[in-house]
Structure 1
């Protein structure tokens, strides 16, 4: 047992040495720009967490910085936890693996750096698979998560001579990028949605937003290509049933998610204002994660609205004894908007359906407009379609 521990320590020291040989910490842009950093904090999703620990060791060994690695669960870019980092005394935060969904100029009293993870795949096999399954001339919409977007762009350029390739964009997300709660609406002439990635969570988002377009998934790890299906009728029926049950509720519970930046105070204020105008009472509850047992402790609440992740209501709403609505569903129940036959997946879209989403113009501070930056030679021949929202420089990554 002791020998195993020693071997593990030796292997970790070798890994740190290899990392140091490839990357001098004192030469990192972050150390050049912010040489006064005294306590950087690292946050990552599960896959690169081990590398984050190694990088933390590098900072500790070769600089005078006191490093922290955050161990709380990180589901996505909405979980950027600058509040906790600041409470721990950090003066700089590095978030690995996700796109800059939370603007770097919106973090609370702490400098922020996003480090993207670019996962290399067997692009040739991906292309051969698509060519084998779809005849030339088909209209294909290519989407993925941020980790595979670079591979997606390269594949789209290769496919363009033979197919009508769309790389749809729902700003502030990058072209081709989708989230589990945010996906673009596509034109009906698109023959197929091609999702590059593992799992179904993000894919289901664009399937919900485009129920009439066939969807396929290419898993870059197993190299399995499959057609995917979603039970739209059951989902819509269960969500409508929850909304109808909530319409008559007199006592409401408003949950502000505290897992990173999932919760949005502006949405909370919007819902509170609507409930007050209708004469309904409400209770504010702050929760990092939402479980049925927690909500059952407040038995006098007739209906809940969770301002955290819309998919929690869609995927797990039936597990709760009382209606658990997303902000959009609450707007329907409170008669602010009509029920949409195509369920909107626009939670982080710049042009969402209403003020119950974070990036709706009503919830954004007024900022001076800036001319969009244009890269030289950016016209690479691929066609990029937007979900209809106009880009605002106040969202997403900020240009230098």
Structure 2
């Protein structure tokens, strides 16, 4: 967690899946709440969206950071514990540290983030960010959230036959606070973006993984979000537990299937491949049809699967007749679900799907109106030249204001 912090940012900036996720979230949700400790994610968003777009999203509270100021780990005689990096007076003159800024006051954490991350910023841009972050960041009461997450994680493990079986094989029935391989003078920390190291016992890593997902659930509850999502590495517990509590991790899967059956190129992948710019994604997001589409998504059951959302989409379109053509994939799905029961369609007609047409629209609110608009945007967009990611010039003046070269100051 403490070493090589920049690898996490590099992975996201260079990984198209994260670009695609961001674009999808902006189109699917009215507001995106991002939990963070050290605000490192801000540098990633700056690379992906550009300062103009990101500042606009922060100002309108489309993106909100939910900030915690503690982290957690495992100690051999105490189990899962939360902690802060406490720096005494002797630490005041050390170089800014992105890892320990989890535990700094918000204004100091913002300064450390700008000093230690790319891209570079002007003093004016930096001040705009700081002003917005100080007023729009949700400061979480971390201690009770961490304690609730720890208790829930222990309950999850105690009620899991699989995890109990794994623990008993190597630990001989030891309590969760005294697992094999743990030491009383060592804290094993957790990073959801990296794989377990060979020196970390699998049982301890399993406990910390469950703790992390319960932390996400606790933060989601405190910020009153309607859906929790993330990458596959952070959804193993939420797949089962999250649905039980009313959260759904299937949002992006549903969105991908809706685009596919509607003949719309994947919007997230178009953004990741630079076919769509951040500004085009925002303009599409701000359209009337996009808002109607998000409202339609929100009307569904929060725990719906992707297939259930897709079926609801088909039902909202209406029965086929002779008005407008349907993509073949949408028609084939429809004839095996809703429409098949209303009006049997022969295999020959399904094969000639392009001749089928829509008759009944939900005026001004049909989710298909947004899909048609999205298709026009992607069809008419040229390929955009990818932004060049450049490292920090170590001979340039440091951005902390010391008037020293970066390599002699914070670098």
Same fold per TM (> 0.5)? Answer: no
Structure showing greater radius of gyration is 2
Higher relative contact order (CA 8 A, sep 6+): 2
Whose helix fraction is larger, Structure 1's or Structure 2's?
Answer: 2
Give TM-score scaled by structure 2 length.
0.28
Whose strand fraction is larger, Structure 1's or Structure 2's?
Answer: 1
